Structure 1
């Protein structure tokens, strides 16, 4: 093999792993136990438990005394709908982030009060709800219009599909 061809092969071999690892790192950002959320304010990620059946959604975060700052629960519904939540038997303050089918945030209820039985209305067309520790929405700047990335969303409709690069 001549010298210039060998240099080309070496350069290609050095380039290929970097390219593949960048692709896999990007693809690996979308896992069922992780959500990413972004907006004009920046970007954040949470490790989530997914509640996607009636029993799991009914249980939610009841009776939990603590939740790590970087964790949350993602409630997924079969179809977009009007949803309401309450805090009976929930021991920690929560922010409830209501999400449309395309992954955009339509409403946020901040600092839901533990044990409160007042129904918190998420509005129409909600496909998912992300619950995080109370005050985190304001702390990060998460607002209506922010975009959520998660593989459970219909990727053809998603404002931020899983195969799109992250902002970081």
Structure 2
């Protein structure tokens, strides 16, 4: 009897764990480069969050991300942006990027699962999420340039 109940509980837990995965969005892949004022050029393999559903999901439920990976959230128009970390399990740096590809501001090491708002310092075209601490490690600062088709030709 206990063995049957344990199997039923485990089956129920597995089914609940599988539910979010069934509804998860898939993302187009791309690459971009961050060029720093100090002459550094850093390439990242990124996923593009282009639709409202993709942007709502973002990097939620991910337990790890490669050091050279990230996600670029691209808006249809330039606008103020606000993010939170609900259901996000890894610390992230959020780079808020203007229409010209210049980084407007950076929020370092956003706290996993936090419901606090993380805001752009002005209107932005996109937000690049990288692993927490990556911006400081690479010397990426506001005013540096993100090179990607989203921001037009270099």
TM-score range, shorter chain: 0.7 to 0.9
Aligned pair count reads 125
Query: Equivalent residue for 2:37?
Result: 40
Query: Equivalent residue for 1:134?
Result: 132
Would you say the 8 A contact 2:91–2:112 is kept in 1?
yes
Query: Equivalent residue for 1:118?
Result: 116
Summarize deviations over 1:30-71 as a string: whole Å, max 9, x none: xx6001011123110100000011010000000000000000
2:78 is aligned with 1:80: yes
Q: Give the alignment's TM-score, normalised by structure 2.
A: 0.79
User: Could you list the runs of 5+ residues in structure 2 that have no partner in the other structure?
Assistant: 1-28
Q: SS in structure 1 opposite 2:137?
A: helix
Correspondence list, 1:53-92, <5 A: 53-92=51-90
User: Could you list the runs of 5+ residues in structure 1 that have no partner in the other structure?
Assistant: 1-31, 156-160, 162-168
RMSD: 0.9
Query: Equivalent residue for 1:50?
Result: 48
Correspondence list, 1:86-165, <5 A: 86-155=84-153, 161=154
